[in-house]
């Protein structure tokens, strides 16, 4: 080789970028594992499809250098960047602006010495949901075009940048009854072809891509399907040693299960970190127990690591069940931390890189370790999980406690649920709806809903049925899913959303009760929408402003949990000692032609209550000439703040008003364009409505 040419090439590479290197053989994948340590997913951000709002569409801010610095400071050595490409591309050509955006995040990570696993994520399922022969030609065409484009842009980056072919191919395969469609050898050969097209494009692009580490995913990234990937492993033009395999690890009952089933219960605790409730403890070989972790990771070590193919656990985690209280909550949070620590321990011993899933959310069922939503200060949210993993990698614990405040808050929580009271006559059945107009219309990113619900309905001879009803699309198509509600206790009921007719336009939700010969009450605390990629959004969380009504004046009933059907807001009065009086309770909803009623005899010296939000949970908006006009109902008069906020949580416009009981109107002027939120606050309560300003 000409020495002068070599020298010139070396000088150009140094001048180009600190993250770039000579077009030479990069280190083999097995030499990277010890340097990659344990990793962190910047989840629910770059992978948000373009038609769902892009990086900030699911509630997170764009990654900043300060955020990346906090990941490094926490002890992580690897960042996985789940990324959407297909929805940002036309004909497989990804827009320059979008590649520039992603490259900026990659550069911030590499600046901190972090290894970056850059993948192609779900992104409307263009590859992930189409591992079928009928779709393969189109997928192959797009896979080739996208990776050819990306490979050209990143070909000069050094070994700190790793490419991952896909995410969880086949994970959303259709279910038939209780079984998911089989992923057999024929389908694995289709997936093998997807991987092969990707690595061929990367290798032929030249530069450092000739030997860059590339990651291949097993079907659904389920460890139990490791043999299919092992048997049909793509052929690397660079030879052996420059690829990795990927699995994910979410042991269902411990990590993701949201409601008990007849075949098993949710696991709150783990091994010896337990209250002693064996039915709630992941142990004795159950999936996610010590024995299970050792066995599952051992399979990966034998099939791949021992053959020079390192493995990454591209996603792993267990949700925080923050609806638990007191000792149960404390033990649960400690159990989660112990589990994370043991996964890290066995992964490290077996030559596997564990990468935690983190979405930034802080609500129930989150897996977040570093704050970036409620407090954009990038502080540690979960010290216990982080320190458990740090310990296994020889790092000292960081000073901090994340559990005490949560446990203290749970122990002193007063029930703040919206309560609907039901009673049906013994001779006939009665229906009662509790309706919510949704401010989240597009449910395509969600797979289930969780309803936190309480019932103490009873009768000597009677029955009650509960359903979760959605009304969607222009025709308000009615889809009803049955709910099994425990009696005499709070329960979290998990409801599938796969049957919704128009998943992108859900107009309203109804908790629907059909009962006969029953007395008692049913209370709904909150409703969550659970995302396909983990985490959840709150559809509704109810507050307990109580309306106390005189039997003489009837009962004030909110039709949509807030819209008052009558102007009679009665004050509480005592009933004389002479006897009881009969009260008719009328439940009304805009989409029903009937009013559902029951009656109850009030005993002397007692009053009935029905709970509802102080502010209605619906806002009606009109936008014209730079002004937003909003109407809302207030159940009580008082000081009210109306604010318009952008997707970063910044206040664009705000106005204070003295709301009257009943209908109110307010107007805000703004020149802002894009997605925004109108927030109306009265006291400690609020309601939110999304709006897009053009």
Q: Do residues 630 and 666 touch, judged by C-beta distance below 8 A?
A: yes
CA 123 – CA 146 distance, rounded (Å): 13
Maximum CA extent, the chain: 111
One DSSP character per residue, 120-171 reads: ---GGGTTTT--SHHHHHHHHHHHHHHHHHHHHHHTTB-TTEEEE--S-TTT
The catalytically annotated residue of 168, 246, 271, 384 is 168
The catalytically annotated residue of 315, 330, 384, 540 is 315
Measured between its terminal Cα atoms, the distance across the chain in Å is: 60
Residue with tokens 């000069």: 156
Residue 227 DSSP symbol: H
CB-CB neighbours of 259 under 10 Å? 16
Best CA proximity match to 147, nearest among 213, 77, 92? 92
Strand 243-249 and strand 311-316: the pairing is parallel
Best CA proximity match to 15, nearest among 140, 218, 201, 156? 156
CA 40 – CA 318 distance, rounded (Å): 14
**SS3 assignment for 476-530:** CEEEEEEECCCCCEEEEEEEECCCCCCCCCEEEEEEEEEEECCEEEEEEEEEEEE
Decide: helix, strand or coil at residue 370: strand
315 catalytic? Reply is yes
- Give 243's contacts (C-beta < 8 A, 6+ positions apart): 29, 199, 213, 214, 215, 216, 234, 236, 309
624 catalytic? Reply is no
Q: Could you tell me the two tokens for 587?
A: 């439940």
CA 111 – CA 478 distance, rounded (Å): 52
Q: Do residues 348 and 336 touch, judged by C-beta distance below 8 A?
A: no
Q: Do residues 257 and 280 touch, judged by C-beta distance below 8 A?
A: no
Q: Could you tell me the two tokens for 215?
A: 């990651």
Give the residue numbers annotated as catalytic, written as ranges.
168, 315
């Amino acid at each position: 080789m000409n020495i002068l040419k070599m020298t010139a090439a070396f000088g150009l590479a140094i001048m180009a970028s600190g993250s770039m290197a000579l077009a030479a053989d990069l280190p083999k994948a097995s030499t990277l594992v010890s340097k990659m340590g344990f990793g962190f997913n910047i989840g629910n951000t770059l992978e948000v499809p373009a038609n769902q709002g892009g990086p900030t569409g699911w509630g997170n801010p764009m990654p900043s250098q300060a955020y990346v610095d906090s990941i490094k400071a926490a002890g992580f050595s690897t960042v996985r960047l789940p990324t959407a490409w297909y929805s940002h591309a036309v004909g497989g050509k990804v827009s320059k602006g979008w590649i520039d955006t992603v490259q900026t995040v990659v550069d911030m990570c590499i600046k901190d010495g972090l290894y970056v696993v850059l993948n192609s994520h779900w992104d409307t399922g263009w590859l992930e949901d189409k591992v079928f022969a009928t779709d393969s030609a189109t997928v192959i065409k797009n896979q080739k075009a996208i990776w050819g484009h990306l490979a050209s842009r990143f070909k000069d980056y050094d070994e700190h940048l790793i490419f991952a072919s896909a995410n969880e191919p086949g994970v959303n395969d259709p279910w038939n009854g209780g079984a998911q469609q089989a992923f057999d050898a024929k389908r694995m050969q289709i997936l093998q072809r997807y991987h092969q097209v990707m690595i061929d494009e990367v290798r032929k692009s030249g530069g450092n891509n000739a030997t860059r580490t590339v990651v291949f995913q097993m079907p659904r990234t389920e460890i139990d399907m490791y043999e299919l990937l092992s048997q049909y492993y793509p052929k690397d033009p660079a030879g052996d040693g420059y690829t990795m395999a990927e699995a994910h690890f979410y042991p269902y009952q411990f990590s993701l299960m949201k409601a008990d089933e007849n075949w098993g219960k949710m696991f709150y605790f783990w091994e010896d970190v337990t209250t002693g409730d064996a039915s709630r403890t992941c142990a004795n070989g159950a999936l996610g127990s010590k024995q299970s972790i050792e066995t599952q990771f051992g399979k990966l070590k034998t099939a791949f690591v021992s053959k020079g193919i390192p493995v990454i656990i591209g996603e792993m985690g267990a949700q925080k069940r923050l609806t638990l209280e007191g000792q149960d909550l404390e033990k649960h949070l400690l159990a989660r931390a112990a589990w994370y620590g043991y996964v890290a321990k066995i992964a490290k011993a077996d030559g596997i890189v564990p990468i935690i899933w983190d979405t930034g959310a802080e609500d129930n069922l989150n897996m977040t370790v570093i704050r970036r939503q409620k407090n954009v200060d990038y502080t540690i949210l979960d010290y216990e999980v982080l320190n458990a993993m740090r310990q296994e990698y020889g790092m000292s614990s960081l000073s901090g406690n994340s559990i005490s405040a949560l446990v203290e808050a749970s122990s002193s929580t007063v029930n703040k649920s919206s309560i609907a009271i039901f009673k049906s006559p013994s001779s006939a059945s009665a229906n009662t709806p509790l309706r919510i107009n949704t401010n989240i219309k597009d449910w395509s990113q969600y797979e289930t809903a969780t309803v936190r619900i309480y019932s103490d309905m009873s009768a000597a001879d009677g029955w009650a049925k509960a359903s979760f009803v959605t009304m969607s699309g222009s025709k308000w198509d009615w889809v009803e899913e049955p709910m099994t509600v425990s009696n005499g206790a709070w329960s979290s009921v998990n409801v599938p959303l796969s049957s919704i007719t128009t998943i992108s336009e859900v107009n309203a939700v109804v908790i629907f009760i059909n009962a006969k010969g029953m007395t008692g009450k049913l209370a709904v605390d909150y409703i969550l929408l659970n995302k396909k990629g983990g985490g959840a959004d709150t559809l509704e969380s109810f507050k307990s402003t109580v309306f106390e009504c005189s039997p003489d004046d009837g009962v004030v009933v909110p039709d949509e949990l807030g819209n008052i059907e009558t102007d009679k807001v009665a004050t509480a009065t005592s009933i004389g000692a002479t006897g009881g009086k009969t009260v008719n309770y009328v439940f009304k909803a805009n989409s029903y032609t009937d009013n559902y009623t029951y009656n109850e005899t009030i005993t002397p010296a007692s009053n009935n209550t029905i709970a509802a939000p102080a502010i209605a949970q619906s806002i009606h908006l009109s936008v014209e000439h730079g002004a937003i006009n909003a109407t809302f109902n207030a159940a009580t008069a008082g000081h009210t703040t109306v604010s318009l906020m952008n997707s970063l949580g910044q206040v664009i416009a705000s106005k204070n008003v003295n709301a009257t009981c009943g209908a109110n109107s307010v107007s805000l002027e703004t020149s802002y364009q894009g997605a925004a939120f109108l927030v109306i606050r009265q006291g400690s309560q609020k309601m939110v409505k999304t709006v897009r300003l053009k």
